[in-house]
């Protein structure tokens, strides 16, 4: 004989108590129901007496429910109605899928009134008295009043929506709970207006119980620091505006704007990177949005600042900002103002923003500090085809170009943000960043000299401290030299690899003359790199020797990239004190930068100048310049570690930082010049090889190490 489970009415009470964690989540679940009902606004009202909450009212302007929906969906616990509905009629994905959110009303209060109206049905009124559960023995004994109002009480004149009134509250809310529910509700606000997912949650109270908590507008206006907007069309960036808006509390610096007129011509050409089977590294390509039938793209972004040293100055409550960004951070996509899911959701890093941050230290952003929107026109973007399950675009060539285009302009915004962030951290850092170990050691040495009275003890302690000081300097210089050698190693290996392949081809053809020529080239490259990594002491050296070795190392790269090099080393005998290996390395680093930017600018007539001069007081210098696009970030920012001006934020951002450190180690200096700071030879001026001018300044006289 078969038996069946039976359920007592009290199980409903247990669901409400146990499945809904707390009162804050209970309200959040009810407001999510408003979002799922396509509401654009939801109002949450707290009525209190003497700061004690007595009544909660949640109302919205959504599609509402009719009597049938209330009977067969709202009053059915655990229904899969939302789970089987991938999208609702306004194109939103449901926030709630388990069918238990409505049990939140039981968690909150004992008496519930619900009013709801659809466009084509009468207003429905429902009343629940949860105290009657205590007396019910069967589920059928727990009756719920449902009536249809001929004359609407809350939704007249064609209005639709749902209103829930919760009274006889089950618990007393403390200040922490009240503030927590406020923050949770605030996080549901949509960051972008006039779109399909535009959703505003307004929170009210008859007493000022939310004092000190920010409004939604405060989070955007007072929490964001870096703002960007642009329009991409065809092959170009057509409109561009970046703005740094420091909070009033950040009064040590002023705001800054970058307009389209401030960008270089190269910046305006939309480009991407793609993998090719016959290439070892990604190759840059031009993107034409019209040709790919993507059409015009409008992109807006707000970047927030979470660095503790800066975030402490924020004008509004920090936890509200953190909670909001945790829920809404990311870049969303809209087509004719209708959101394309699930771009911008927490688990969809469709632009690889967080991945880049993992792969490269410094200079990158993360999804939880940005709010962004990408807007497309449906008629012009037919190249982007949506998947049959409506969850995003088909990932084909067109989609990849679309992602590359967004990433391209995003990186320009990030580049400009890095300039302002560097200035911010310099002005507002609370700890010494430069040489922290030496600084701390210096303080210890001073304390020992002041506090230790016994001369023998003092001398013994200072001996060890000075030894630590010297050992730290040696370790640091070794690491910097190794890092620079590592940066140049990839280039050398690439050159050796190409020459070896060519040598193999000549051997197979029996071309003896070519074999000898290539072997000599290969030997020259290996010899040149050996000079870069060989340990060398600071001594007086001809600058022409440094220039000649560096140019020989890159002779074949210059040829590959069709670059002509102008130099005066053949007729120059200027000497300076330097470490030969380090000097070759830093010069090679600068040449590598010039090669990259000349190739990026795609100039037909590519030129580099390496000019030896004694014009800078107390130094003999090697000045490197080219006819490329010049610098796109300030000099003081360029020498910071992990900061790069390269597109796509590629590279480690260490090159110029290491050059600067190595020049300091040799008692020299690195200078960024413009064409008016120094008298350049006529051939440099005539050929306009006067961009990105950098001087490696080596001392004329040996400086005593203190």
Q: Is the pLDDT of residue 632 over 60?
A: yes
**For residue 5, is it within any domain?**
no
Query: Quick check: 393 and 384 in contact, CB under 8 A?
Result: yes
* pLDDT the model gives residue 186: 77
Task: Identify the weakest region by mean pLDDT among 104-118, 313-327, 571-585.
Answer: 313-327
Q: Is the pLDDT of residue 478 over 70?
A: no
Of the residues 394, 427, 460, the one at which a domain ends: 427
User: Residue 264 — very low, low, confident or very high, per pLDDT cuts 50/70/90?
Assistant: confident
User: Residue 706 — very low, low, confident or very high, per pLDDT cuts 50/70/90?
Assistant: very low
User: What are the tokens at 258?
Assistant: 């970058």
Mean pLDDT for the stretch of residues 161-171: 93
CA 538 to the chain's CA centroid: 42
Measure the CA–CA gap between 266 and 261, rounded to whole angstroms: 12
Q: Which residue has the tokens 């000497």?
A: 575
H/E stretch holding 414 reads helix 397-428
**For residue 706, is it within any domain?**
no
The H helix count followed by the E strand count for the chain is: 20, 23
Considering the domain architecture, whether residues 372 and 353 belong to the same structural domain is answered as yes
Count of domains forming the chain: 3
User: What are the tokens at 201?
Assistant: 């949650």
Considering the domain architecture, whether residues 207 and 233 belong to the same structural domain is answered as no
Angle between helices 318-328 and 175-186 (to 10 degrees): 40
> Residue 39 contacts by C-beta under 8 Å, 6 or more apart in sequence?
60, 61, 62, 161, 199
Greatest Cα pair distance in the chain: 110
Going from the C-alpha of 370 to that of each of 225, 257, 385, the distances in angstroms are 10, 19, 26
The tens digit of pLDDT for each residue in 113-126 reads 999 999 999 999 99
H/E stretch holding 706 reads none
How buried is residue 612: exposed, middle or buried, by Cβ count under 10 Å (0-12/13-18/19+)?
buried
**For residue 198, is it within any domain?**
yes
Q: Nearest CA to 186 among 338, 34, 67, 28?
A: 28
> Residue 673 contacts by C-beta under 8 Å, 6 or more apart in sequence?
623, 693, 694, 695
Please spell the DSSP secondary structure of 567-579, one letter per residue. E-GGG---EEEEE
Considering the domain architecture, whether residues 209 and 262 belong to the same structural domain is answered as no
What are the phi and psi torsion angles at 624 (to 5°)?
Answer: -110, 130
Considering the domain architecture, whether residues 198 and 225 belong to the same structural domain is answered as no
Measure the CA–CA gap between 668 and 656, rounded to whole angstroms: 14
The tens digit of pLDDT for each residue in 303-338 reads 998 877 788 788 777 778 888 888 788 898 888 777
User: Residue 131 — very low, low, confident or very high, per pLDDT cuts 50/70/90?
Assistant: confident
Mean pLDDT for the stretch of residues 139-151: 84
Of the residues 374, 407, 427, the one at which a domain ends: 427
Going from the C-alpha of 479 to that of each of 353, 472, 530, 583, 586, the distances in angstroms are 30, 11, 17, 16, 14
Query: Quick check: 107 and 170 in contact, CB under 8 A?
Result: yes
Measure the CA–CA gap between 485 and 536, rounded to whole angstroms: 14
Pairing label, strands 330-335, 370-376: parallel
Considering the domain architecture, whether residues 238 and 358 belong to the same structural domain is answered as yes
Considering the domain architecture, whether residues 203 and 224 belong to the same structural domain is answered as no
**Parent domain of 153:** 10-213
The tens digit of pLDDT for each residue in 2-17 reads 776 767 766 766 666 6
Q: Is the pLDDT of residue 438 over 70?
A: no
Measure the CA–CA gap between 601 and 628, rounded to whole angstroms: 6
Of the residues 408, 427, 446, the one at which a domain ends: 427
Considering the domain architecture, whether residues 104 and 235 belong to the same structural domain is answered as no
DSSP reduced 3-state for 79: coil
Does residue 249 or residue 89 have the better pLDDT? 249
Measure the CA–CA gap between 515 and 512, rounded to whole angstroms: 5
Percent of the chain past pLDDT 90, that is, above it, reads 27
**For residue 444, is it within any domain?**
yes
User: Residue 576 — very low, low, confident or very high, per pLDDT cuts 50/70/90?
Assistant: very high
* pLDDT the model gives residue 433: 40
What are the phi and psi torsion angles at 125 (to 5°)?
Answer: -120, 135
What are the phi and psi torsion angles at 342 (to 5°)?
Answer: -110, 40
Measure the CA–CA gap between 128 and 13, rounded to whole angstroms: 13
Considering the domain architecture, whether residues 542 and 647 belong to the same structural domain is answered as yes
Considering the domain architecture, whether residues 280 and 405 belong to the same structural domain is answered as yes
**For residue 236, is it within any domain?**
yes
Does residue 180 or residue 671 have the better pLDDT? 671
* pLDDT the model gives residue 4: 67
Considering the domain architecture, whether residues 408 and 470 belong to the same structural domain is answered as no
Considering the domain architecture, whether residues 683 and 550 belong to the same structural domain is answered as yes
Considering the domain architecture, whether residues 254 and 115 belong to the same structural domain is answered as no
**For residue 71, is it within any domain?**
yes
H/E stretch holding 68 reads helix 67-69
Q: Nearest CA to 363 among 637, 62, 71?
A: 637
Please spell the DSSP secondary structure of 628-677, one letter per residue. S---SS-HHHHTSTT---SGGG-S-S-HHHHHHHHHHHTT-EEEEE-TTS
In terms of residues, how long is the chain? 706
Measure the CA–CA gap between 479 and 122, rounded to whole angstroms: 77
Measure the CA–CA gap between 47 and 215, rounded to whole angstroms: 19
What are the phi and psi torsion angles at 332 (to 5°)?
Answer: -95, 160
Pairing label, strands 297-304, 370-376: antiparallel
The tens digit of pLDDT for each residue in 596-610 reads 888 877 668 899 999
Whichever domain contains 679, its CATH number is 3.30.565.10
Query: Quick check: 120 and 169 in contact, CB under 8 A?
Result: no
Q: Is the pLDDT of residue 443 over 50?
A: yes
Query: Quick check: 104 and 25 in contact, CB under 8 A?
Result: yes
**For residue 704, is it within any domain?**
no
Q: Is the pLDDT of residue 488 over 60?
A: no
Query: Quick check: 265 and 369 in contact, CB under 8 A?
Result: no
Q: Which residue has the tokens 């590279």?
A: 651
What are the phi and psi torsion angles at 298 (to 5°)?
Answer: -110, 130
Q: Nearest CA to 408 among 266, 257, 598, 290?
A: 266
Measure the CA–CA gap between 595 and 590, rounded to whole angstroms: 9
What are the phi and psi torsion angles at 372 (to 5°)?
Answer: -140, 155
**For residue 347, is it within any domain?**
yes
**How many C-beta atoms surround the C-beta of residue 281 within 10 A?**
10
Q: Nearest CA to 632 among 463, 432, 445, 414?
A: 414
Query: Quick check: 536 and 555 in contact, CB under 8 A?
Result: no
Q: Is the pLDDT of residue 593 over 60?
A: yes
Measure the CA–CA gap between 552 and 129, rounded to whole angstroms: 90
């Amino acid at each position: 004989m078969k038996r069946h489970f039976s359920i007592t009415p009290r199980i409903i009470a247990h669901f409400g108590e146990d499945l809904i964690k707390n009162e804050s989540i209970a309200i959040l679940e009810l407001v999510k129901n408003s979002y799922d009902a396509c509401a654009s606004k939801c109002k949450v009202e707290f009525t209190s007496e003497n700061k004690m909450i007595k009544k909660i009212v949640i109302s919205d302007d959504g599609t509402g429910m009719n009597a049938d929906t209330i009977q067969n969906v709202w009053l059915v616990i655990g229904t899969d109605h939302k789970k089987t509905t991938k999208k609702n009629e306004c194109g939103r994905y449901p926030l709630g899928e388990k069918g238990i959110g409505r049990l939140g009303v039981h968690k909150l209060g004992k008496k519930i009134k619900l009013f709801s109206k659809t466009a084509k049905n009468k207003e429905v009124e429902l009343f629940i008295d949860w105290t009657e559960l205590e007396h019910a023995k069967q589920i059928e004994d727990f009756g719920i009043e449902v009536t249809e109002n001929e004359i609407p009480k809350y939704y007249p004149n064609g209005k639709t929506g749902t209103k829930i009134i919760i009274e006889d509250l089950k618990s007393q809310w403390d200040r922490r709970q009240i503030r927590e529910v406020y923050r949770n509700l605030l996080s549901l606000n949509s960051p972008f207006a006039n779109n399909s997912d535009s959703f505003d949650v307004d929170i009210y109270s008859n007493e000022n119980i939310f004092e000190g908590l920010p409004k939604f507008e405060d989070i955007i206006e007072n929490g964001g620091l870096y703002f960007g907007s642009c329009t991409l069309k065809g092959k170009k960036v057509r409109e561009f505006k970046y703005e740094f808006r420091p909070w009033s509390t950040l009064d040590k610096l002023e705001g800054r704007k970058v307009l389209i007129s401030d960008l270089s011509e190269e910046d305006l050409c939309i480009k991407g990177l793609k993998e090719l089977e016959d290439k070892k590294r990604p190759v840059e390509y031009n993107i034409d949005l019209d040709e790919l039938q993507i059409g015009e793209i409008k992109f807006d972004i707000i970047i927030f600042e979470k660095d503790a040293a800066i975030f402490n100055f924020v004008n509004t409550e920090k936890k509200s900002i953190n909670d909001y960004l945790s829920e809404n951070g990311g870049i969303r996509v809209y087509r004719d103002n209708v959101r394309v899911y699930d771009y911008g959701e927490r688990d969809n890093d469709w632009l690889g923003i967080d991945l880049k941050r993992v792969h490269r230290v410094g200079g990158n952003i993360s999804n939880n500090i940005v709010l962004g929107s990408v807007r497309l026109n449906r008629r012009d973007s037919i190249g982007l085809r949506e998947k049959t399950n409506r969850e995003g675009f088909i990932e084909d060539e067109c989609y990849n170009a679309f992602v590359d285009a967004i990433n391209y302009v995003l990186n320009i915004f990030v580049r400009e943000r890095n300039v302002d962030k560097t200035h911010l951290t310099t002005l507002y850092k609370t700890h010494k960043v430069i040489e922290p170990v030496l600084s701390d050691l210096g303080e210890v040495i001073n304390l020992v000299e002041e506090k230790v009275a016994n001369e023998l003890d003092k001398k013994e302690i200072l001996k060890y401290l000075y030894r630590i000081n010297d050992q730290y300097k040696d370790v640091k210089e070794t690491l910097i030299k190794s890092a620079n050698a590592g940066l140049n190693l990839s280039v050398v290996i690439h050159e050796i690899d190409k020459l070896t392949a060519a040598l193999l081809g000549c051997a197979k053809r029996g071309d003896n003359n070519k074999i000898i020529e290539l072997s000599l080239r290969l030997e020259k490259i290996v010899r040149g790199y050996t000079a870069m990594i060989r340990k060398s002491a600071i001594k007086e050296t001809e600058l022409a020797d440094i220039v000649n070795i560096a140019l020989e190392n890159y002779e074949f790269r210059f040829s590959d990239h069709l670059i002509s090099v102008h130099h005066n080393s053949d007729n120059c005998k200027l000497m300076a004190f330097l470490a030969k290996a380090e000097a070759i390395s830093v010069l090679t680093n600068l040449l590598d930068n010039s090669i990259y930017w000349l190739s990026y600018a795609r100039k037909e007539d590519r030129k580099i100048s390496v000019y030896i001069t004694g014009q800078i007081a107390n130094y003999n210098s090697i000045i490197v310049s080219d006819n490329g696009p010049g610098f796109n970030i300030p000099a003081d920012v360029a020498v910071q570690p992990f900061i790069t001006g390269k597109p796509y934020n590629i590279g480690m951002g260490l090159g110029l930082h290491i050059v600067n450190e190595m020049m300091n180690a040799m008692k020299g200096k690195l200078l960024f010049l413009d064409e008016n700071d120094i008298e350049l030879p006529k051939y440099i001026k005539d050929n306009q090889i006067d961009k990105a001018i950098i001087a490696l300044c080596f001392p004329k006289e040996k400086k005593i190490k203190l």
